[in-house]
Amino acid sequence: MLRVELQATRASLDVALTVADGECVALAGPSGAGKTTVLQTIAGLFRPERGQVVCDATWLDVERGVDLPPERRRCGYVFQDYALFPRMSAWRNVAYGIRARDRRQRALALLERFGLADRADHRPGELSGGERQRVAVARALARDPAVLLLDEPLSALDPRTRAAAARELTAVLHETGVPTLLVTHAFDEAAALGDRVGVLDGGRIVQLGPPAELSARPASAFVADFTGAVVLTGVAAPGPDGLTAVALDGGGTIVSTDTLSGPVGASLYPWEIVLEPGSAPSSAQNHLAAEVVSITEIGGRARVGLLAGQPLVAEVTVASVRALGLAPGTRVTATWKAAATRLAPR
């Protein structure tokens, strides 16, 4: 189990977090939010103005003057660029932290687990990005750490490798049962790897919970935006049929099943938006007249950028794009359900 509390002037951090054994918590936030600083504090590479880190022992207690140096803390740290020692082979990298006489065997056994036994004698420069990532994780686990810290574990990988690496990493994390804290700027990475996701904004964790909860019930517009939702800003007030009406900035009104009033961010997911030609009304409760600004095809899907007083993004099939004859400048109506509109205070 890991418990960390820290307050620092760097990034105005004020964070408190507990990670249970076998759990993986992902701390997500934009660059500069202080995520790496949290990891560094746990590892002993940074000393905050105030804070406590308790794992298998008290590692840091600023008030009582306890500050174990990094080498006395049992942390497994996977750095953002992996920081593999360039002049050592893969197995030597992994064996670096092992003090026992049979370090080579143990290192090879670990590499075997990651499917890298045949690459053991190669130097980092000769390994692929995915292989380097696995060596870095193996190296971090070699010392049988009490906590595992990962800094952007997937961001250096190309998109194709990323999915496989994510699956592999999740499997390893659950297998070892070591409490894990990882930081990332991409919500989808956090959602893929973390049992719980914490969003860091302005130095504080504004929401902490399972990824689905953050998507479904974002605590703030920032969280909603961060989770990849489309966020429309406006002012909410009670409306007809027990729904809440939101007067959007830039024009237009939409309704939501959430109850909130005052300045809000109304969030919905791009795939929840349906595009209809011209201004034909339909049964969906929300419609906004919009103009197509851009169309990006990815795989069989298309992300259509729209402008309706505020920008929004709809994700539809390529077939729909053809059927509707969409092109930049085309006028369409964006429609979606009131229940799909989540409100969060701004």
Residue from the set 104, 122, 143, 174 that interacts with other proteins by CB under 8 A = 143
CB of 9 to other proteins, least distance (A): 17
Site string for other proteins, 102-141 (x = CB under 8 A): -------------------------------------xx-
Per CB under 8 A, contacts with other proteins among 45-104 are 45, 69-71, 73, 75-77, 79-81, 83-87, 96-97, 99
Under rule CB under 8 A, how many of the chain's residues touch other proteins? 25
The greatest distance separating any two alpha carbons of the chain, rounded to the nearest whole angstrom, comes to 76
With CA atoms as reference, report the closest residue to 153 among 189, 191, 196: 189
CB of 301 to other proteins, least distance (A): 38
Torsion (CA) 130, 135, 138, 139 in degrees, nearest 10: -140
- Closest to other proteins by CB, 142 vs 199, is 142
Query: What's the DSSP call for residue 211?
Result: H
CB of 250 to other proteins, least distance (A): 45
CB of 71 to other proteins, least distance (A): 5
Amino acid at 98: I
For the stretch 167-174, contacts whose Cβ atoms lie closer than 8 Å and that sit 24 or more positions apart, written own/partner, are 168/114, 168/134, 169/137, 169/193, 170/24, 172/113, 172/114, 172/137, 172/141, 173/24, 173/148, 174/22
Query: How many helices (H) does the chain have, and how many strands (E)?
Result: 9, 21
- Closest to other proteins by CB, 45 vs 324, is 45
Per CB under 8 A, contacts with other proteins among 27-56 are 43-45
Alpha-carbon distances of 261 from 159, 215, 253, 301, rounded to whole Å = 41, 20, 14, 35
CB of 108 to other proteins, least distance (A): 17
Spatial distance between the Cα atoms of 5 and 211, rounded to a whole number of angstroms = 22
Binning the chain into helix, strand and coil, the percentages to the nearest 5 are 30, 35, 35
Site string for other proteins, 297-336 (x = CB under 8 A): ----------------------------------------
- Closest to other proteins by CB, 40 vs 341, is 40
Amino acid at 172: V
- Closest to other proteins by CB, 87 vs 101, is 87
CB of 166 to other proteins, least distance (A): 23
If you search the block for the tokens 């009582």, which residue do you land on? 64
CB of 96 to other proteins, least distance (A): 5
Pairing of strands 196-201, 180-184: unpaired
- Closest to other proteins by CB, 89 vs 335, is 89
CB of 66 to other proteins, least distance (A): 18
What do you get for the CA distance between the two ends of the chain, in Å?
34
Query: Residues interacting with other proteins, by CB under 8 A?
Result: 43-45, 69-71, 73, 75-77, 79-81, 83-87, 96-97, 99, 139-140, 142-143
